[in-house]
Amino acid sequence: MSAKTILITGASGGIGAALARCHARAGVTLLLWGRDEERLNQTATQCRALGADCIPCLFDIRDLDDMVARLSAQDDRTPIDLAIFNAGLGGSVSKDVIAETPQRSRATAEVNFVSPVMGANLMAGAMARRGHGQIVLVGSIAESYPLPMAPTYAATKAGLAMFAEALGIRMAKHKVRVTLVSPGFVDTAMSRGVPEAKPFLMTADAAAAIITRRIARGDRRIVVPWQFAVIRAATGLLPRALVRWVLGRA
Ligand SMILES: NC(=O)c1ccc[n+]([C@@H]2O[C@H](COP(=O)([O-])OP(=O)(O)OC[C@H]3O[C@@H](n4cnc5c(N)ncnc54)[C@H](OP(=O)(O)O)[C@@H]3O)[C@@H](O)[C@H]2O)c1
Cβ–Cβ < 8 Å for 229, 200: no
Residues of the chain with pLDDT under 50: none
Ligand 1 closest atom vs CA 157: 47
> So what's the pLDDT on residue 1?
56
Q: Which domain holds residue 113?
A: 5-249
Name every residue whose Cβ is closer than 8 Å to that of residue 233 and which is 6 or more positions away in sequence: none
Instruction: Tell me how many domains the chain contains.
Output: 1
Q: Is the dihedral of CA 72, 74, 75, 77 positive or negative?
A: positive
| Overall residue count recorded for the chain in this entry | 250
Which mutation among 19, 35, 85 tests ligand 1's pocket best, with the greatest number of atoms within 8 A of CB?
35
Cβ–Cβ < 8 Å for 51, 25: yes
- 101-124: b or e for each residue (b if 16 or more CB lie within 10 Å)? eeeebeebbbbbbbbbbbbbebbb
145-164, pLDDT tens digit by residue? 999 999 999 999 999 999 99
Strand ordering across the sheet containing 221-224? 53-58, 29-34, 5-8, 82-85, 133-138, 176-183, 221-224
Which mutation among 15, 108, 179 tests ligand 1's pocket best, with the greatest number of atoms within 8 A of CB?
15
How close is the Cα of 140 to the center of ligand 1, in Å? 11
Tell the residue nearest (CA) to atom 19 of ligand 1: 14
Tell the residue nearest (CA) to atom 17 of ligand 1: 190
Cβ–Cβ < 8 Å for 182, 221: yes
> So what's the pLDDT on residue 18?
98
Q: What is the pTM of this model?
A: 0.97
95-120, pLDDT tens digit by residue? 889 999 999 999 999 999 999 999 99
Ligand 1 closest atom vs CA 87: 24
Say how many CA atoms lie within 13 Å of 116 toward its Cβ. 33
How close is the Cα of 85 to the center of ligand 1, in Å? 10
Tell the residue nearest (CA) to atom 20 of ligand 1: 190
For residue 53, give the nearest of 40, 63, 64, 44 by alpha carbon. 44
- Domain of 172: which CATH number? 3.40.50.720
> So what's the pLDDT on residue 94?
85
How close is the Cα of 120 to the center of ligand 1, in Å? 17
11-21, pLDDT tens digit by residue? 999 999 999 99
CB-defined site of ligand 1, < 6 Å: 10, 12-16, 34-36, 39, 60-62, 86-89, 111, 138, 140, 183, 185-186, 188-191
